[in-house]
Amino acid sequence: MAQVEQSLRGRKILLIVGGGIAAYKALDLVRRLRERGAQVRAVLTPAGREFVTPLSLASLSGQPVHESLFSLTDETEMGHIELSRSADLVVVAPATADLMAKAANGLANDLASTLLLATDKKVLMAPAMNVRMWLHPATLRNVAQLRADGVLFAGPADGEMACGEFGPGRMSEPLEIVAAVEQALAGETRIPLPGDAATNSSLLKGRRVVITSGPTHEPIDPVRYIANRSSGRQGHAIALAAARAGAHVTLISGPVSIPDPAGVEMRKVETARDMLAAVDAALPADIFIGAAAVADWRVEGAADRKIKKTAAASPSLTLTENPDILAHVAAGTANRPSLVVGFAAETDHLLDHARAKLARKGCDLIVANDVGTGTGVMGGTSNTVHLVSRDGVESWPLLDKDEVARRLVERCAMLLAGSGST
């Protein structure tokens, strides 16, 4: 089989399959998206279930299929709000006349329509219906409304239909929908809300922001390393939010498997020492946000050849302390940013450790998050954070990492304005 370019590597698609004959093409669409590296989570409407089975969709997507709004299991494991926001793009294929009518009018009386109303991500619809249904003034009105609301469309195409008629209304082919998905993901994926930092592109206009993200890899020998579970999602989301707020952003990232955020200057590094050098090179800045999970230790005298397994004894590793990037930036004299923000990932005594870290490192704000077993924060898409400053502690509810990023950027802009830094 020909090698397919991983053009959607790491991208998350929420696919809503409506009740039309073209639902069979949604199965191929899942396959095409996945072979390009996308993760696909499917939602099947009750009418969609008449055309394709949840089993086929689950087998092809490799993920459970969601069908009911009132599913207790889904609400405890993944609520409908998170389901609607954890994807990078929501795709509706086939988009029935009924689903489009509901979405155009803001109805939310089943899982699919509720997700479409609750999402903060772009929505791409691939309509499929009989030509008369497509050309009906009600459908045309709905399509015009959806376009005005920012919904993207792939097709429909002209052609012969399953019902024997000919004309517009046939669902685009899976590869055409894949091309539309790639195009939609090439730009911004989040639809801004009025009054949000993302829409206010002047909030950090003219400011320089340096952000670290992801884990560091500390070599043991040329093929082995010590790492941690950081995915880089939180740091990357902050970089994107800061760029959207008008800042010039340098994002210094350890090895991650998520895409580079749009509109930021990337510096890719491996070790804590590389990260420190990249941070120093990126300064001066108005704001420094250390969201990376920098390894506290590295292996002393890492081998320059692969350590061979011998019968004699297992090798022992001696660890030595890595540079403390946050403390180094906060202590900087000439180059100290006006605002230095650190992250504290703790498994116990979260706030005590965060307060101690604030004092020890000399930074202005600590974003503390509980990364204990079962929280799913490390590598996950949501986060419960506490902002610890000298003024006290402010706790935010469980939020999508994008939302944590947006709020944090807003807060940094406020603090910067309050510090009198111009």
Task: Give the residue, chosen from 8, 13, 18, 330, that forms a contact with ligand FMN under the rule CB under 6 A.
Answer: 18
Place of tokens 């950027």: 409
Task: Give the residue, chosen from 14, 19, 61, 214, that forms a contact with ligand FMN under the rule CB under 6 A.
Answer: 19
If you count DSSP H runs as helices and E runs as strands, how many of each does the chain have, helices first?
Answer: 14, 21
Dig out the tokens for 309 from the structure: 């397994």
Scanning residues 317 to 346, which ones bind ligand FMN (CB under 6 A)? none
Which x/- pattern over 95-134 shows residues binding ligand FMN (rule: CB under 6 A)?
-xxxx----------------------------xx---x-
In this complex, which beta carbon is closest to ligand FMN, that of residue 21 or of residue 179? 21
Stretch that binds ligand FMN, among 40-48, 190-198, 337-345, 346-354 (CB under 6 A): 40-48
Indicate the angle between helix axes 174-186 and 23-35, nearest 10 degrees: 50
Q: Are strands 218-219 and 225-226 parallel, antiparallel or unpaired?
A: antiparallel
Place of tokens 């991983």: 6
Q: How far is the CB of 45 from ligand FMN (least distance, A)?
A: 3
DSSP for residue 215: B
C-alpha–C-alpha distance, residues 61 and 52, integer Å: 13
**Residue ranges with strand state E in 156-299:** 157-160, 166-170, 208-213, 218-219, 225-226, 248-253, 265-268, 287-290, 297-299
In this complex, which beta carbon is closest to ligand FMN, that of residue 67 or of residue 74? 67
Stretch that binds ligand FMN, among 20-28, 143-151, 329-337, 394-402 (CB under 6 A): 20-28
In this complex, which beta carbon is closest to ligand FMN, that of residue 129 or of residue 412? 129
Please choose, from the candidates 416, 397, 392, 273, the residue with its C-alpha nearest in 3D space to the C-alpha of residue 341: 416
Task: Give the residue, chosen from 45, 200, 253, 322, that forms a contact with ligand FMN under the rule CB under 6 A.
Answer: 45
Q: How far is the CB of 99 from ligand FMN (least distance, A)?
A: 4
Give me Rg for the CA atoms of the chain. 24
Stretch that binds ligand FMN, among 93-101, 204-212, 233-241, 380-388 (CB under 6 A): 93-101
Q: What residues contact 259, with CB distance under 8 A and at least 6 apart?
A: 9, 10, 11
Task: Give the residue, chosen from 7, 34, 47, 375, that forms a contact with ligand FMN under the rule CB under 6 A.
Answer: 47
Contact 57, 65 (CB under 8 A): yes
Residue type, 85: R
State the first-to-last Cα distance of the chain, in angstroms, to the nearest integer.
58
Task: Give the residue, chosen from 11, 13, 20, 235, that forms a contact with ligand FMN under the rule CB under 6 A.
Answer: 20
In this complex, which beta carbon is closest to ligand FMN, that of residue 22 or of residue 33? 22
3-state helix, strand and coil shares in percent for the chain, rounded to the nearest 5:
35, 25, 45
By annotation, the residues acting in catalysis are 163
Number of residues lying near ligand FMN (CB under 6 A): 15
Is residue 155 a contact point for ligand FMN (CB under 6 A)?
no
Q: How far is the CB of 184 from ligand FMN (least distance, A)?
A: 21
In this complex, which beta carbon is closest to ligand FMN, that of residue 133 or of residue 307? 133
In this complex, which beta carbon is closest to ligand FMN, that of residue 99 or of residue 292? 99
Place of tokens 């307060």: 355
Scanning residues 265 to 324, which ones bind ligand FMN (CB under 6 A)? none
Buried b (16+ CB within 10 A) or exposed e, 143-182: bebbeeeebbbbbbeeeebeeeeeeebbbbbbeebbebbb
For ligand FMN, which residue has the nearest CB? 20
Q: How far is the CB of 43 from ligand FMN (least distance, A)?
A: 10
Task: Give the residue, chosen from 14, 30, 48, 125, that forms a contact with ligand FMN under the rule CB under 6 A.
Answer: 48
Stretch that binds ligand FMN, among 41-49, 229-237, 373-381, 413-421 (CB under 6 A): 41-49
Which positions touch ligand FMN (CB under 6 A)? 18-22, 45, 47-48, 96-99, 128-129, 133
